[in-house]
């Protein structure tokens, strides 16, 4: 992992149906069907759509042996249509389905949280060391036949850990933590290494981006310590719908890819699966464009832990920015230009000095006249011309030598605005923050990034990946997102708040945790997500989960306040936290009952 310089992490190569993955190969893109796997024609048609969209692999759910065998039938249909995209079976709770899939698929995903251990019940279990060792031996014995079949049929394996489906055994010893996720997969991975089976890829997924990023980093550290170098599959599970799902995925996946991690990715959206592929391709292409960038010479400041960063210590300036205050948003617009925006920036920038007396503004030095709530934006060359402002913003390129900034040591009236230099935007910006810390300069930092893309999706991907990396590493006290060619200025401000929300550093709207859907989904996911959002989008203090089935639902929703989960065809179960409180209610009544449940617990607010 390298925070400052982009270079792919070296891994072994893994053969998935002739499409190799690993550091010697391009980062692969995949998606997953949401059809019933038993419906061979519909599933084959969706696989074709995903392949034509540009995916390298397709995953299909296999709840049982019958569905696993159906993937073999789907494969024959695809091959007859000259489509040779590798198919990967997704297995939960059913080792027999994994054994069947290993004989007909190019890859099989198993979940260490439920492949051998029973379904979690969130019970605290006690083990002696001897009893725990016996559990590990039981895992080994269950894996050996599976490994043998995969070896025989040249089938690749993904060990896919979900934060929401850790076993009771793991949670009892490690908690529902990133460390627990790492140990869950390492128990399995050690067996594969002992058996010299190396066609293995690993994923560590969570709906909470912070947990997902920490889990992947800790996994890489754990593998390095045991001399393991397996490829990584990256994804934010249950990322959601629309721009929020795209930004959330770009933040989490992009931050890790910026450090050279990741060999295949999936952007999980609550939308048609082929729509995931262009987003993932944009993310892969954008990060790969940093290859061969000008090297950045930088070092971590003392006390910084790259596995689990804490917020950079800064002074609080003018009761507005820094210290323990939430990160701010600056916008390069006048307030009247974003009338109607649900979220208002903390500061506006007026290049021509036009202000309204009601909001806080940044203006160029030549436009600053000392008015209340108006603050100068300076360059280094202008510093000496502004001796009296109570709050000043000093804009610096990321390559500014820190020895030119020694006059800032001990100041509590200055905010630094760091602009990028070169192709590796977050690497350079973070490098300067570490140099500031090493020099004893604790001014708050704003990262100011400008993108010329007219495509909303490109803007979401680039800004999410760049600013998300800096924020997840806790190196900034605010963001300033500019998109001069984007005509919808409300949209740009909304994206800035969405990036902060994805990093869990400033919650400004309801957090929706919704799965992308698969063959296990019990209702029309896209329509349902939109209906739940319409009913609850004003509850900005809540996190609400919408899950198609119970496989990951209760676990992933352990981070949510309320949950809406498919229980059976036409039937919904409602959750308060991870506790099921209403079971198998009719789908047509479920949203009204969800609202009633929120009201019963005193969490409802009128729009």
191/84 same-domain check: yes
> How many domains in the chain?
3
User: Alpha helices, DSSP H only, in 226-330?
Assistant: 242-258, 276-288
Last residue of a domain, one of 288, 311, 337: 288
276/394 same-domain check: no
Last residue of a domain, one of 288, 309, 338: 288
Residue 97 and residue 57 in contact, taking contact as beta carbons nearer than 8 Å: no
Considering the domain boundaries, does residue 315 fall inside one? no
357/427 same-domain check: yes
For 419-438, what is the mean pLDDT?
98
Please name which of 457, 603, 598, 583 lies closest in space to residue 532, comparing C-alpha atoms.
598
151/274 same-domain check: yes
Considering the domain boundaries, does residue 1 fall inside one? no
Rounded to an integer, what distance in angstroms lies between the CA atom of residue 48 and that of residue 80?
Answer: 12
Express each pLDDT in 24-35 by its tens digit. 999 999 999 999
Rounded to an integer, what distance in angstroms lies between the CA atom of residue 46 and that of residue 272?
Answer: 9
Considering the domain boundaries, does residue 2 fall inside one? no
- The residues that bridge with 582 in the sheet, in sequence order, are 574
Indicate which CATH number applies to the domain containing 518.
3.30.413.10
- Position 467 confidence tier, pLDDT thresholds 50, 70, 90: very high
Which are the contacts of 225, defined by CB distance < 8 A and separation ≥ 6?
none
State whether residue 186 is helix, strand or coil.
Answer: helix
Rounded to an integer, what distance in angstroms lies between the CA atom of residue 63 and that of residue 94?
Answer: 7
36/69 same-domain check: yes
Residue 203 and residue 151 in contact, taking contact as beta carbons nearer than 8 Å: no
Considering the domain boundaries, does residue 312 fall inside one? no
Instruction: Indicate the range of 89-103, 228-242, 341-355, 518-532 predicted with least confidence.
Output: 518-532
Location of structure tokens 């792919």? 8
Considering the domain boundaries, does residue 305 fall inside one? no
Please name which of 546, 512, 549, 532 lies closest in space to residue 36, comparing C-alpha atoms.
549
**Side-chain-facing half-sphere of 598: CA atoms under 13 Å:** 25
Considering the domain boundaries, does residue 90 fall inside one? yes
Strand boundaries in 483-592, DSSP class E: 511-514, 543-547, 562-568, 571-576, 579-586
| pTM tops 0.85 | yes
Indicate which CATH number applies to the domain containing 354.
3.20.20
Which secondary structure element, helix H or strand E, spans residue 270, and what is its range? none
Considering the domain boundaries, does residue 148 fall inside one? yes
Structure token digits, residue 64: 């049982």
341/452 same-domain check: yes
Express each pLDDT in 124-149 by its tens digit. 788 888 988 999 999 999 999 999 99
Domain of 565, in residue numbers: 511-600
Considering the domain boundaries, does residue 67 fall inside one? yes
Indicate which CATH number applies to the domain containing 63.
3.20.20.20
177/121 same-domain check: yes
232/139 same-domain check: yes
Angle at 448 between CA 360 and CA 209, to 5 degrees: 105
Residue 296 and residue 258 in contact, taking contact as beta carbons nearer than 8 Å: no
388/484 same-domain check: yes
Confidence (pLDDT) at 546: 87
406/520 same-domain check: no
Confidence (pLDDT) at 69: 97
142/257 same-domain check: yes
Rounded to an integer, what distance in angstroms lies between the CA atom of residue 178 and that of residue 423?
Answer: 31
Residue 399 and residue 428 in contact, taking contact as beta carbons nearer than 8 Å: yes
Rounded to an integer, what distance in angstroms lies between the CA atom of residue 137 and that of residue 1?
Answer: 32
Express each pLDDT in 72-106 by its tens digit. 999 999 999 999 999 999 998 899 999 999 999 99
470/551 same-domain check: no
The neighbour count for residue 503, using CB atoms within 10 Å, is 27
Phi, psi of 95, rounded to the nearest 5 degrees: -60, -30
Last residue of a domain, one of 474, 502, 530: 502
In the predicted model, is pLDDT for residue 552 greater than 60?
no
Structure token digits, residue 356: 């309204």
């Amino acid at each position: 992992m390298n925070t400052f310089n982009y270079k792919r992490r070296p891994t072994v190569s893994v053969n998935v149906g002739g499409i190799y993955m690993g550091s010697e190969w391009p980062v692969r893109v995949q998606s997953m069907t949401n059809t019933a796997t038993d419906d061979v024609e519909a599933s084959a048609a969706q696989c074709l759509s995903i392949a034509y969209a540009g995916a390298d692999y397709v995953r299909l759910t296999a709840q049982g042996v019958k569905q696993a065998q159906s993937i073999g039938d789907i494969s024959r249909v695809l091959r007859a249509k000259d489509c040779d995209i590798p198919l990967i079976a997704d297995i939960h709770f059913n080792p027999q389905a994994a054994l069947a899939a290993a004989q007909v698929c190019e890859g099989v995903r198993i979940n260490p949280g439920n492949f051998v251990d029973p379904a979690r019940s969130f019970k605290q279990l006690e083990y002696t060391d001897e009893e725990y060792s016996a559990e590990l031996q039981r895992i080994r014995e269950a894996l050996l036949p599976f490994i043998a079949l995969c070896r025989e049929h040249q089938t690749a394996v993904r060990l896919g850990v979900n934060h929401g489906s850790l076993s009771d055994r793991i949670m009892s010893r490690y908690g529902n933590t990133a460390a627990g996720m790492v140990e869950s997969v390492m128990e399995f991975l050690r067996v594969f290494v002992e058996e010299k089976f190396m066609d293995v890829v690993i994923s560590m997924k969570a709906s909470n981006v912070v947990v997902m990023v920490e889990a992947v980093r800790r996994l890489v550290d754990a593998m390095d310590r045991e001399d393991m170098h397996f490829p990584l599959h990256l994804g934010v599970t249950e990322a959601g719908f629309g721009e929020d799902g795209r930004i959330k995925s770009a933040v989490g996946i992009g931050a890790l890819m910026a450090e050279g991690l990741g060999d295949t990715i999936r952007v999980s959206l609550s939308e048609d699966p082929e729509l995931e592929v262009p987003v993932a391709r944009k993310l892969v292409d954008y990060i790969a464009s940093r290859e061969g960038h000008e090297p950045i010479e930088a070092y971590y400041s003392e006390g910084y832990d790259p596995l689990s960063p804490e917020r950079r210590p800064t002074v609080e300036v003018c009761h507005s920015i820094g210290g323990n205050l939430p990160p701010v948003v600056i916008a390069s617009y006048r307030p009247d230009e974003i009338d109607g925006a649900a979220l208002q920036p903390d500061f506006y920038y007026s290049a021509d000095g036009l202000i309204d007396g009601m909001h806080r503004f940044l203006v160029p030095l030549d436009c600053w006249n000392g008015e209340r709530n108006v603050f100068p934006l300076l360059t280094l060359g202008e510093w000496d011309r502004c001796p009296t402002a109570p709050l000043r913003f000093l804009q610096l390129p990321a390559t500014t030598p820190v020895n030119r900034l020694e006059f800032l040591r001990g100041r509590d009236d200055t905010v630094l605005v760091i602009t990028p230099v070169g192709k590796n935007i977050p690497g350079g910006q973070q490098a300067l923050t570490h140099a500031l810390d090493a020099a004893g300069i604790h001014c708050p930092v704003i990262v100011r990034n400008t993108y010329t893309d007219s495509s909303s999706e490109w803007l979401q991907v680039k800004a999410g990946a760049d600013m998300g990396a800096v924020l997840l590493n806790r190196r900034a006290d605010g963001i300033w997102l500019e998109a001069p060619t984007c005509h919808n200025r409300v949209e740009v401000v909304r994206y800035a708040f969405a990036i902060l929300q994805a990093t869990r550093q400033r919650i400004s709207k309801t957090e929706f945790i919704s799965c992308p859907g698969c063959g296990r989904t019990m209702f029309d996911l896209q329509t349902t997500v939109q209906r739940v959002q319409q009913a609850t989008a004003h509850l900005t203090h809540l996190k609400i989960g919408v899950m198609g089935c119970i496989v990951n639902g209760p676990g992933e929703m352990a981070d949510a306040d309320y949950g809406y989960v498919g229980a059976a065809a036409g039937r919904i179960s409602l959750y308060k936290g991870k506790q099921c409180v209403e079971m198998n209610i009719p789908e047509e009544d479920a949203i009204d009952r969800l609202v009633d449940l929120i009201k019963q617990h005193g969490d409802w607010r009128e729009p």
